[in-house]
Amino acid sequence: MSSLLQTYEDLLLKTRKKYKKRRKELGYTQRDLATWSGVSLGSLKRFEQTGKIAYESLLKLSVFLECIDDFDLVCEDKNEQ
Residues 8-29 have a mean pLDDT of 95
Residues 62-79 have a mean pLDDT of 89
CA torsion sign, 19 to 21 to 26 to 30? positive
Q: Express each pLDDT in 30-62 by its tens digit.
A: 999 999 999 999 999 999 999 999 999 999 999
Amino acid at site 40: S
Residue 12 has pLDDT above 80, yes or no: yes
38: left (phi over 0), alpha (psi -120 to 50) or beta: left
Confidence of residue 22 (pLDDT cuts 50, 70, 90): very high
Amino acid at site 64: F
Domains in the chain with CATH codes? 7-67 (1.10.260.40)
Model-level pTM? 0.83
Residue 72 has pLDDT above 60, yes or no: yes
Amino acid at site 17: K
59 vs 38: CA distance, rounded Å: 11
Q: How far apart are the first and last CA of the chain?
A: 21
